[in-house]
Amino acid sequence: MKIALAQLNYHIGNFEDNVSKIKTSISKARSEGADLVVFAELAVSGYPPRDFLEFDDFIRRCRLAVEEIAGVCTDIAAVVGVPTKNPEFMGKDLYNSACFLADGKVREMRHKSLLPNYDIFDEYRYFEPNKKFDIVEYKGEKIALTVCEDLWNLGNDPLYTVIPMDELMKQQPDMIINIAASPFNYNQHRIRTDILKKNARKYGLPLFYVNHVGAQTELLFDGGSQVIDAQGKVVEELAYFREDFAVYDTKELKSNNRPAPLSAYPQGNEKIGLMYDALVMGVKNYFAKLGFTKAILGLSGGIDSAVTLAIAAEALGNRNVLSVLLPSQFSSEHSVSDSLEMIKNLNSPYEIISIETAFKAFEETLKPQFKDLPFGLAEENIQARARGVILMALSNKFGYILLNTSNKSEAAVGYGTLYGDMNGGISVIGDVYKTEVFQMARYINRNGSIIPENIITKPPSAELRPNQKDSDSLPDYEILDRILFQYIENRKGPEELIEMGFDEKIVRKTLRLVNTNEYKRYQTPPMLRVSPKAFGMGRRMPIVAKYLS
């Protein structure tokens, strides 16, 4: 049997576009002699549709879309992911289904058994788990048709009480097909491939795996769909971060020597390279799917806004990103000159708007209330908010989306001003630690200078008071980021961190800052997710809490 893998970039709720892409791929598969073409989990609706699933009209349109797709499957079959109605009175109203389309109709449906309900996943909120296991037979082949998590209940700490493939093996399938929506993080491609290999080896069956690609707000999908032989060897791997298509004959399960896409990254830079490509895709898709073309950001002369500008310019085109330099009386000369050098390198547009007049106007307005109190945090934040007002005014007037430039280290400890530098429609590097931002700047410059060297090497500063440095308020980023990583990603408590050799005073202060600034993160723009534990939908913490605060 010839099986086509169609790795596509879907748009949540855009049924017309999703159906068109699927039908085009079916036509391509037919022209290349495929018997069956496989699409991703919830391909028709896009993933994750979240509370759209609570609308009867949304589910009705999913059904109509599948029927339309089935109508073109007359001399070819297709597997398409879609939410379907649960006909039973008991249980949730929907299934997460893989529809097998053939002979112009929905011939079979297989439902997802294992519904993830951790980190960014919330599937048990909507779907009923499958409890009945049957293979699909087509053209003399017995197919174990599974959906994403159904293959993941392996290892020493299983989350579920059933292993779907153990049940399906009782019917002696010839192959496994798995349709998935597996979001990106910089470790996920290795973990995913390891899981798929283990399944192929355990059951002694070839495995055909199709993943989503593209960005859905903060969730990024990297693709990397695969064919794995019965010995657990990857014999086909589709591209990362872009749509791809391949046809594979089950009688010829041997390597075709396609180069692995990940080999494109320089040695030692795979993690940062993956993160960079994911962020570029995330920005590009966020704008395209919202129907916007132009971005704006405040370019401060610092490393964060410089890296954000470079990512946005790559995603949207140099001329489509407006940099606004917003100097104050505390801005250093090089904050402007370094920014102008980078703008020249990119040949991108810019404006220079001083905030001194606005700041003085706020000072004068508040003088009756502030009286003769000394300059402090309030005055620093007024400057940041004046910048935010100017950027949002330009955004509203000319139709830009404002890019937030805060990094993960700052977001973690609350080192930012609400309604000021924390403004934005999308947070580009909000899941990138400060030390990783420096690494990314070097990666961006790997083929020539884009970010000026002085931006990379000078001490970070918010420049909101004379001679200010980040180190005045925060531990050295090399130490801070290691503590934050252990606490946020690895969930290590204070005693464990102290036992690891971190200074007790720094540990307790850092964890207190993280927990007391949850209210700020609650109000930030969506952060493009590139780590295994990002702020946002995958990390749910109470605001009013006493723990470690």
Per-residue pLDDT tens digits for 424-437: 999 999 999 999 99
- Of the pLDDT bands very low, low, confident and very high (cuts 50, 70, 90), residue 459 is confident
Tell whether 165 and 305 lie within a shared domain: no
Q: Which of 253, 288, 308 lies at the terminal end of a domain, its last residue?
A: 253
* 545 inside domain: no
Which of 25-29, 143-147, 265-269, 424-428 has the lowest average pLDDT?
265-269
Contact indicator for 484, 407 with CB cutoff of 8 Å: no
Strands (E), 411-460: 426-427
Q: Tokens 């209940």 label which residue?
A: 153
Instruction: Report pLDDT for 549.
Output: 83
Q: Which of 199, 226, 253 lies at the terminal end of a domain, its last residue?
A: 253
Q: How far is CA 527 from the centre of its chain?
A: 8
Query: Coil, helix or strand for 4?
Result: strand
Query: Coil, helix or strand for 241?
Result: coil
Instruction: Report the pLDDT averaged over residues 138-167.
Output: 95
Instruction: Report pLDDT for 96.
Output: 98
- Of the pLDDT bands very low, low, confident and very high (cuts 50, 70, 90), residue 467 is low
Instruction: Report pLDDT for 80.
Output: 98
Number of domains in the chain: 2
Q: Exposed, middle or buried: residue 140 (CB in 10 Å: 0-12, 13-18, 19+)? A: exposed
Q: Is the pLDDT of residue 329 over 90?
A: no
Q: How far is CA 281 from the centre of its chain?
A: 9
Q: Which amino acid is at 294?
A: K
Tell whether 278 and 219 lie within a shared domain: no
Q: What are phi and psi of 15, to 5 degrees?
A: -65, -40
Tell whether 245 and 355 lie within a shared domain: no
* 533 inside domain: no
The Cα–Cα gap between 45 and 52 comes to: 9
Q: For 519-536, what is each residue's pLDDT tens digit?
A: 999 999 999 999 999 999
Contact indicator for 185, 148 with CB cutoff of 8 Å: no
- Of the pLDDT bands very low, low, confident and very high (cuts 50, 70, 90), residue 346 is very high
- Of the pLDDT bands very low, low, confident and very high (cuts 50, 70, 90), residue 261 is low
Q: For 377-426, what is each residue's pLDDT tens digit?
A: 999 999 999 999 999 999 999 999 999 999 999 999 999 999 999 999 99
* 530 inside domain: no
Catalytic residues: 41, 112, 148
- CB under 8 Å to 485, separation ≥6 — which residues? 433
Q: Which two tokens stand for residue 116?
A: 């993830």
Q: For 3-34, what is each residue's pLDDT tens digit?
A: 999 999 999 999 999 999 999 999 999 999 99
User: Rounded to the nearest 5 degrees, what angle is found at the Cα of 292, between the Cα atoms of 286 and 293?
Assistant: 100
Task: Please enumerate, as own/partner, the contacts of 504-510 that have beta carbons within 8 Å and a separation of 24 or more.
Answer: 506/475, 506/479, 506/480, 507/483, 508/548, 510/413, 510/475, 510/480, 510/483, 510/484
Instruction: Report pLDDT for 260.
Output: 57
Q: How far is CA 119 from the centre of its chain?
A: 13
What is the DSSP-derived secondary structure letter of residue 177? E
- Of the pLDDT bands very low, low, confident and very high (cuts 50, 70, 90), residue 256 is low
Tell whether 43 and 161 lie within a shared domain: yes
| Percent of the chain topping pLDDT 90 | 90
Helix ranges, 229-298 (H): 270-290
The Cα–Cα gap between 45 and 429 comes to: 28
* 160 inside domain: yes
Q: For 231-252, what is each residue's pLDDT tens digit?
A: 999 999 999 999 999 999 998 8
* 264 inside domain: no
Tell whether 243 and 297 lie within a shared domain: no
Q: Which two tokens stand for residue 425?
A: 């429609």
Which is it for the CA torsion 170, 176, 182, 184, positive or negative? positive
* 531 inside domain: no
User: Rounded to the nearest 5 degrees, what angle is found at the Cα of 277, between the Cα atoms of 275 and 280?
Assistant: 110
Q: What is the CATH number of the domain that holds 13?
A: 3.60.110.10
Q: Is the pLDDT of residue 39 over 90?
A: yes
Tell whether 221 and 187 lie within a shared domain: yes
Instruction: Report pLDDT for 323.
Output: 98
**How does the average pLDDT of the chain come out, rounded?**
94
Tell whether 234 and 371 lie within a shared domain: no
The Cα–Cα gap between 477 and 472 comes to: 12
Tell whether 125 and 12 lie within a shared domain: yes
| Percent of the chain topping pLDDT 70 | 96
Residue 234, beta-bridge partner list: 228
Tell whether 372 and 504 lie within a shared domain: yes
Q: Tokens 């759209």 label which residue?
A: 52
Q: Exposed, middle or buried: residue 479 (CB in 10 Å: 0-12, 13-18, 19+)? A: middle
* 259 inside domain: no
- Of the pLDDT bands very low, low, confident and very high (cuts 50, 70, 90), residue 462 is low
Nearest Cα residue to 296 out of 386, 419, 388: 388
- Of the pLDDT bands very low, low, confident and very high (cuts 50, 70, 90), residue 360 is very high
Q: Which two tokens stand for residue 259?
A: 């180069």
Which is it for the CA torsion 525, 528, 534, 540, positive or negative? positive
Instruction: Report pLDDT for 257.
Output: 53
CB atoms within 10 A of CB 102: 21
Query: Coil, helix or strand for 136?
Result: strand
Residue 139, beta-bridge partner list: none
- Of the pLDDT bands very low, low, confident and very high (cuts 50, 70, 90), residue 198 is very high
* 346 inside domain: yes
Tell whether 248 and 280 lie within a shared domain: no
Q: Would you put residue 291 in left (φ > 0), alpha (ψ -120 to 50) or beta?
A: left
Instruction: Report the pLDDT averaged over residues 101-130.
Output: 97
The Cα–Cα gap between 97 and 109 comes to: 6
Strands 401-404 and 295-298: parallel
The Cα–Cα gap between 305 and 234 comes to: 40
- Of the pLDDT bands very low, low, confident and very high (cuts 50, 70, 90), residue 268 is confident
Q: How far is CA 340 from the centre of its chain?
A: 31
Tell whether 231 and 369 lie within a shared domain: no
Q: Tokens 């949304």 label which residue?
A: 58
Tell whether 479 and 447 lie within a shared domain: yes
Instruction: Report pLDDT for 252.
Output: 80
The Cα–Cα gap between 377 and 355 comes to: 17
Q: For 309-318, what is each residue's pLDDT tens digit?
A: 999 999 999 9
Helices then strands (H, E): number in the chain? 16, 19
Q: How far is CA 476 from CA 123, 414, 532, in A?
A: 40, 16, 23
Q: What is the span of the domain harbouring residue 314?
A: 270-521
- Of the pLDDT bands very low, low, confident and very high (cuts 50, 70, 90), residue 334 is confident
Q: What is the CATH number of the domain that holds 487?
A: 3.40.50.620
The Cα–Cα gap between 6 and 440 comes to: 31
